Chain A
Amino acid sequence: MSTDNDIIRRSRDSPAVFGELYDRHASVIYRYAARRAGDFAADDVTSETFLVVWEQLETYDLDREDARPWLFGIATNLLRRHHRAEAKILKTAAKAASREAVADDSDRIAARVDAVVATGRIARTLKAMAAIDRETLLLYAWADLTYEGIALAMDVPLGTVRSRLNRARRTLRTQLNLEILDETENDHERLAAAPRNA
């Protein structure tokens, strides 16, 4: 099976080959965009992403086998045009969990956080978060990119990805009352990014 860079190399000479890249990745780009901004935006973002990719084909670093960070980077930029749709989705999700339900969340153990309430809180937190932090977090959780992948996608150093993710996850965990389980360091505004599940 050919790798992404093979496809890209060959499609520089033959547009028909470019379709393979679409076939391989369009559904994950669509899904990512739809989760963030809904189907209408996803349709738009997916076609636009591949058009931009086509236009920028010469700029692709052929040493990279996996084109997903590049594709998600472009899709992320394009999604910024749909920030209203995204905000609307998050607002609706936030409303789904009532404040009464949240107030009942007295248990400090993370395992018992009610999923519905959590969704509402997550939505509210994502909405309030700086766009770059939200994008970093969602590229990690929804697009399944690695730290390195996110660094490529957002064109920032690895350390920046790490600190943005730390910040975003810390905010999220605070909102979810997961602070006991986690390793909160509020003294110097940072947090070790360690997986919770041993």
Chain B
Amino acid sequence: MNDLQLLREMRSDVGSASPTTLARGRNKLMSKISSDSRPEATTTHAPATVLPIFRRRVLMASAAAALLVGGIVVAEVVRPSPGAIAEAAEVLNDAAAATIQTSDPVVGPGQYLKIDTTSVYAAGVLLGDDPKAARRTVEWLDKYSDHLYIPSDQTAEWIWNREARIPTTFFSEDAKAEATKYQQSQAGDPTRMGELLRAPGGNFYGEQRMLFAGLPLAEGVKTLPRDPQALLDTIRQLDNPDRSEAETLESIAAALQTGVVPADLRAALYKAAALIPGVTVVDREANLDGKAGTAIGIEDPDRGTRMDIIIDPATGLLIGQRKVTLTAGETFPAGTATGWTSVQTSVVNSAP
């Protein structure tokens, strides 16, 4: 069952007004509107005069909610932490040391920092509409490449060339057939079939670019603590209180692969990752999209997956991340990388 179906079912048993209630409301309404004549257009309440009050109230409410969530996180994460297993901690700390010596690419006026990302994502369809009948999931892997051009002045226009997502890996003929069908059904959707986007400050789709949940990119780069423990605590507070350690590592990987995290913050992120309990060296020679590096991972028993980040030990740069299944599922065998992303950064003189 998908998220919308679940959401639609929620509270679906409440809320029908009785005929009496509706009749009472109608009488009240009709007596009001017939007693005082309707105001002319010039005197109507324009939404603009009403909205600021609402907006302020809503803001206050969300601020209160944020405080509450923050409180819960602190209570949950402050506990004795054994940290990553020694070897992984060493690799991460070495990566942190190397990353500081690796100078950040210098983007001159008129030039762009180009971030090439290749990703593989699990995609799937759920067959069968009757929630009570047996339903079947068919999954496959999509490959997707995109190229982001960030101007030297990061408030100027960014350009993002998103290529089409192509179903590439199937573990059954069935999956191949469903993937083809699905791909055809999405032919009109540019978010799937590819598009070239431009947005000042990288705010594509009218959304501010985030470094972590609720933390805009530029602000995060400027204000995040460089002390590893303080940084880890901050990341945990920004994220959801119920997140697993694997998801914390995932957030760190996502921040690293934006490609615009400066060396000092990158180093702090590696050191913060080294403080996550349960992080281990998974593979000394992990290969991702043709590049080899050291894979550091943590298992997420709830999801039956392992989250890895792969680092070039020489430069301390992130090669990419991947999510690997630990057990065989309905469609994916155990050990499948059901999602990975590899990132490469360069400086170029022009953009599309």
Contact = CB atoms under 8 A, between A and B. Distances in A.
Nearest to A140: B4
Contact of B51 (A22, A77, A181): A77
Interface residues of B, number: 93
Interface string A133-176: 00001001110000000000001010110110011010011111
A22 B29 contact: yes
Interface stretch (B35-43, B101-109, B273-281, B344-352): B35-43
Interface string A108-145: 11110101001100111001101110000100111000
B81 interface: no
7 contacts: A80-B57, A103-B302, A110-B1, A131-B62, A140-B4, A183-B121, A197-B126
B19 to A, nearest CB: 9
Chain B at the A interface: mostly helix, strand, loop or mixed? mixed
A7 interface: no
Contacts of A173: 3
Contact of B7 (A57, A172, A198): A172
A162 B205 contact: yes
A183 B15 contact: no
B178 A111 contact: no
A2 interface: no
Contacts of A118: 1, 6
Contact of B119 (A81, A157, A176, A185): A185
Contacts of B136: 111
Do most interface residues of chain A lie in helix, strand or loop, or is the interface mixed? Answer: helix
A46 B22 CA distance: 9
Given A15-B34, A19-B30, A34-B17, 18 more contacts: A30-B21, A42-B17, A47-B28, A57-B38, A77-B50, A110-B126, A111-B1, A111-B136, A131-B58, A132-B58, A167-B207, A176-B3, A179-B303, A181-B122, A186-B250, A188-B204, A194-B189, A197-B129
A105 B38 CA distance: 56
B75 interface: no
Interface residues of A, number: 96
A78 to B, nearest CB: 9
B61 interface: yes
A56 B43 CA distance: 9
